[in-house]
Structure 1
Amino acid sequence: MEVAAKPAIRGAASIVRALEAHGVRYVFSIPGVHTLSLYRALDDSAVIQTVLPRHEQGAGYMADGYARVSEGVGVAVTITGPGVTNILTPIAQAFADSSRVFLIATNLERPFLNRLEGNLHELTDQLAVVRPVVKWAYRAMTADELAPAIAEGFRQLWTGRPRPVYLEVPLDLLDEATALAVEPATPPPPSEPAPHLIEHAAQLLRNAKRVLVFAGGGAVSRRVAPLLKEFVEAIGAVVLTSLMGKGALPEDHPQVAGAFGYRWSPDNPVVTLMERSDLTIVIGSGLGVRTTANGTMPLPTPLIHIDIDEHEFGKRYQPDVALAADAAVTLSALLAAVHAGARPREGWTPEEIAPVKHALRTPPDERTARYVPYLEAVRAALPREAIIVNDMTMLCYEGVRFLPVYEPRSYLFPRGFGTLGSSLPTAIGAKLARPDVPVVSLNGDGGFQFTLEELGVLAHYRFPVIVVIFNDSTHTAVKVAMHRAYPGHYRDVDLVNPDYVKLAAAYGLTAVRVASPSELEVTLRHAVEANEPMVIDVPIALERYA
């Protein structure tokens, strides 16, 4: 019996069908002459909605924000050449912070690849430009490769450490015929820890008196959170988090001391918790240079280190047990051991933790005390589940320690790459992932000007994102550093800013200027109730340079 041939479709349609088959609902992209065929195929999709940023950086940050909050995949599409180079910064940020972003970009037609013959948007080697900031990069050379390549990209995204992937599509493939059926990748089962290592960890638990759990970004997920809570309560551990670990457990849980702050210092109040513990369990943190002040954080030993990425073990702290496996699966195995009797001899009580927690929330000096009321206003105005998206700015640095977080994936920070200007577009992606909760973008005035054009997206789609700008007309972190290194010598740090209220009004957005923390709280409450996009300008003068 003769089997009828499958009808041919264009390569562009193959890409769209493959994305649909993998559950993609949003694509963040700016159309260009090099993606016309792809946009024609997207126009036929009843599933995928395109979101139009005002800059390719915005597309990357939006995809990243969507991925972080949804715990899924954010997809960005760019044109050849400058579209790729424009989006590299947010892709590098997603790489640094382990975020699942799928970047698809066109390139020149196959006969012109890497040839520098005067074509529009040409690069010497576009694939080589992207490789350093993704975990997997592939250039398709036939239309038949497109759907399988997208499936492989998704397999890579769901295997091991989550980091961005990249598919490059020469322009002529978009209109080339292919008859390949779409076969979605099946997410692999989560990796399991070796049983003998779980038994070793269980023995360390039996031998311990008090346990310190240090939770990093790999512990912040809706799968891990209930298991972590049960585990911590079962063994009476005290919990500290890194910046990226905020939200792993509610910071008002009696066993949670909180996040120690943006940078480690030996006078931090949590030192006493480390000194009085005799076992550390690290979950989902690489214990990096910035997190631990290059290994000077006095973590108790022995050390059990749990991380999906085995390359994170032993860089500054040598683990006694290294569990390269999925955090949720590993915690389930450890819980089974605990229920079988592998418990510490004493454990931490809430009464022992409370004084340290109070000290951690108390400003250590008069300078910090000027910042804290604004952070308290933000927290008081928002429901527990609200998503707070941070930029690289002074209020956000202080917020690591002084702004408590209560839900997984509700606190976003550009930690690894440390990019200015990511907050607003990242918040837009976050809002699409969780339209049911308030999303607030916290910005400094300097960083905000990197991507302020994305206010156009709020005006265009009326996404109800609340934008707060802490405005002191200064690149404050740099000016503070200049003051410490070379007192009285300041250059290129003081800004001439636009009137942000008028700027927002020009976009047709509601905007308010507030003069105090109490006004900020009231205005934020109103913005949450209004459920519409709003810009809040907060003039501040919190630093002293004399």
Structure 2
Amino acid sequence: MVVGESARIRGGDAVLRVLEANNVDTIFGIPGVHTLDIYDALIDAGKINHILARHEQGAGFMADGYARATGKPGVALIVTGPGVTNVSTPIGQAYADSSPILLIATNQERKYLDKLEGNLHEMTDQMGFMKPITKWNKRVMEVGDLPAAVTLAFEALAQGRPRPVHVEIPIDLLAEEFAMPSVAPAKVVTARPTDDQIQQAADIIKGAKRVMIFTGGGANTDECAPFIAGLAEELGAPVVTSLMGKGSIPEDHPYAVGAFGYRWSNDNPSVEAMTGSDLAIVIGTGLGVRTTGDGSMPLPRKLIHIDIDPSEIGARYDVELGIVADAAETCKALLDAVHCGARSQERWSSSEVKAIREKIVAPADERTAGYIPYLNALRTGMDRDAILVNDMTMMAYEGVRYFPIFEPRTFLFPRGFGTLGSAMPTALGAKVGRPDRQVVSVSGDGGFQFTLEELGAAVHHQIPVAIVIFNDGTHTAVKAAQKRTYPGRYIAVDLVNPDYVKMADAYGIEGIRAESPEALTEALNHAKAKDMPTIIDVPIQLENY
């Protein structure tokens, strides 16, 4: 939408005008004395909702969850100094996982920037602090430049790899008045493949015996997923996904092998799809060291690599053809080429793919088998298009392989940064962005306590998320690592926990203790009908020490 020219207004009002022009409907933040002018303008900005977090880290996670669930930029409004350092963890997570966040942060008055003069919240280089975890930064030094700067931030968000951007505004600009020009939405240009690239890809496909497809987070969108399914069906190509690609094809599709798991190992059943193909179409993944087991994943020697980030093409595996373009546009063009005859010499049969898939979903060992009833209970208690928001916890690690997902953007995971405690506030942001979807967060008892204060935001804004806490009284992943590395020697991993059901009662919401997988399903179905958050405490003892 275009926001028309206005009389003289404050810088704080101008920021909101540009957000409105770019169809922002929600801001996550906490007011402070440095952001009063923007918050005062929010009173009159009826089109923008504000979610009051209880900590800037929570605001950042909420913005990240909103972005991951919707594909639209999440917006966080943060105060100078400690507000910025607090939000840096979720911004770092969003950077690692290619999630688009617009961070609007204040700083000191212009005459005090980057100086230590004894002012509140001062830092010597706040911009420098944020640069390593944002892809674009702009410090605005004149109030008249504010509209253009925020518009440029939206353009940066829309170009290339989706990652956070940062606009820094000295606080004296926010109260200063100027004549606001009309503001148009940011220009968005989609990177499309060339005709020559599609022809080269078609020729490579025609020369292949059998094809497989490997997808990452860049393919896990509503726009791209139908074309991936179409390519799989037309080529008879099995689809293996990374953790971040989980959801790019329904995992009950005849050609879906599924996600290989949290960690790669060469005894994984998906190896059959790789070694049985002589061409891989790799979509929306950098094939990073964690995804590929430091390059040990036996992908076919011939690769067509499609990614929006040119630095990822051929960085770790040699490629026959690299295409730097939007994944959905490229897959659409490839599918058109396949329809015109660009087919491999042979197809995988759906029965062959099903046999691999059955091996994927079979428990890898006795220990893993203990987790599967709880994952099945989660799935049974969730809608097909429900959003599962994972923390760094053992149940979530096993869920990468054993929890089936059917829609894009419905399996959210802090993969790159591995941020403990992110799930619950990320789920709140996801629910705000997708109020039409059931949203469930999964945390361990230790991780949940990192951000439990955001229960206040959930209750305050009546965000009906099911908050599942798998409770075994310890930091399980670390204790298991201690067992492997120093058998019998444990330190600083066992926890003293609150009663989470009583905690729910203290917030005036329902708390349920689910003592079995069946009780977990029942609790999820119960929570689904609520218009407030529900805590579901699930006592487990699934590891042996």
> TM-score when scaled to structure 1?
0.98
Query: Which residue does 2:88 correspond to in 1?
Result: 88
User: Do residues 434 (structure 1) and 431 (structure 2) align?
Assistant: no
Give, in whole Å, the separation in 2 of the partners of 1:475 and 1:56: 25
Shift of 1:180: 2.9
| Identity, % of aligned positions | 56
Shift of 1:24: 0.8
**Alpha-carbon displacement from aligned partner over 1:351-388 (angstroms, at most 9, x marks no partner):** 11111111100001110001111001000111100000
Query: Which residue does 1:240 correspond to in 2?
Result: 240
Shift of 1:336: 2.0
Query: Which residue does 2:490 correspond to in 1?
Result: 490
Shift of 1:495: 0.6
Give, in whole Å, the separation in 1 of the partners of 2:503 and 2:207: 62
Shift of 1:251: 0.2
Query: Which residue does 1:336 correspond to in 2?
Result: 336
Distance 1:370 1:174, change over 3 A: same
Shift of 1:187: 3.5
Give, in whole Å, the separation in 1 of the partners of 2:401 and 2:14: 48
Mapping for residues 27-426 of structure 1, pairs under 5 Å: 27-426=27-426
SS at match of 2:173: helix
Give, in whole Å, the separation in 1 of the partners of 2:527 and 2:363: 28
Query: Which residue does 1:466 correspond to in 2?
Result: 466
SS at match of 2:370: helix
- Structure 1 moving runs of 4+ over 4 Å: none
Query: Which residue does 2:528 correspond to in 1?
Result: 528
SS at match of 1:28: strand
**Alpha-carbon displacement from aligned partner over 1:299-326 (angstroms, at most 9, x marks no partner):** 0121000000010112220111000001
Query: Which residue does 2:450 correspond to in 1?
Result: 450
Query: Which residue does 1:504 correspond to in 2?
Result: 504
Give, in whole Å, the separation in 2 of the partners of 1:277 and 1:131: 42
Distance 1:350 1:77, change over 3 A: same
Give, in whole Å, the separation in 1 of the partners of 2:82 and 2:440: 30
**Alpha-carbon displacement from aligned partner over 1:175-218 (angstroms, at most 9, x marks no partner):** 11121314234342311113222222111111112111001000
**Alpha-carbon displacement from aligned partner over 1:435-459 (angstroms, at most 9, x marks no partner):** 0111000001111000001111121
SS at match of 1:322: strand
SS at match of 1:536: strand
SS at match of 1:530: coil
**Alpha-carbon displacement from aligned partner over 1:63-105 (angstroms, at most 9, x marks no partner):** 0111111110110001110000000000011111111100001
Preserved CA contact (<8 Å) 1:209 1:346: yes
SS at match of 2:432: helix
Letter in 2 for 1:122: E
Give, in whole Å, the separation in 2 of the partners of 1:175 and 1:189: 34
SS at match of 2:450: helix
Shift of 1:6: 5.7
Shift of 1:273: 1.4
Give, in whole Å, the separation in 2 of the partners of 1:322 and 1:455: 45
SS at match of 1:205: helix
Give, in whole Å, the separation in 1 of the partners of 2:492 and 2:6: 63
Give, in whole Å, the separation in 1 of the partners of 2:390 and 2:25: 25
Shift of 1:328: 1.2
Preserved CA contact (<8 Å) 1:155 1:185: no
Give, in whole Å, the separation in 2 of the partners of 1:459 and 1:218: 33
Give, in whole Å, the separation in 1 of the partners of 2:406 and 2:528: 18
Give, in whole Å, the separation in 2 of the partners of 1:8 and 1:61: 35
Give, in whole Å, the separation in 2 of the partners of 1:523 and 1:350: 36
Letter in 2 for 1:241: T
Letter in 1 for 2:322: A
Point out where structure 2 has 5 or more consecutive residues left out of the alignment.
none
Give, in whole Å, the separation in 2 of the partners of 1:178 and 1:488: 68
Give, in whole Å, the separation in 2 of the partners of 1:176 and 1:30: 22
SS at match of 1:206: helix
Give, in whole Å, the separation in 1 of the partners of 2:498 and 2:508: 16
**Alpha-carbon displacement from aligned partner over 1:502-524 (angstroms, at most 9, x marks no partner):** 11111111001111111111111
Preserved CA contact (<8 Å) 1:430 1:439: yes
Give, in whole Å, the separation in 2 of the partners of 1:364 and 1:328: 34
Preserved CA contact (<8 Å) 1:14 1:147: yes
Preserved CA contact (<8 Å) 2:459 2:532: no
Give, in whole Å, the separation in 1 of the partners of 2:515 and 2:335: 50
Letter in 2 for 1:414: P
Letter in 1 for 2:518: S
Point out the more displaced range, 236-245 or 516-525: 516-525
Letter in 2 for 1:503: M
Letter in 2 for 1:352: E
Preserved CA contact (<8 Å) 1:14 1:178: no
Give, in whole Å, the separation in 2 of the partners of 1:139 and 1:159: 20
Preserved CA contact (<8 Å) 1:21 1:182: no
Preserved CA contact (<8 Å) 2:21 2:185: no
Give, in whole Å, the separation in 2 of the partners of 1:493 and 1:182: 57
Give, in whole Å, the separation in 1 of the partners of 2:86 and 2:6: 39
Letter in 2 for 1:310: P
SS at match of 1:496: coil
For the aligned residue pairs, the C-alpha RMSD in angstroms reads: 1.1
Preserved CA contact (<8 Å) 2:462 2:531: no
Preserved CA contact (<8 Å) 1:147 1:182: no
Give, in whole Å, the separation in 2 of the partners of 1:498 and 1:478: 20
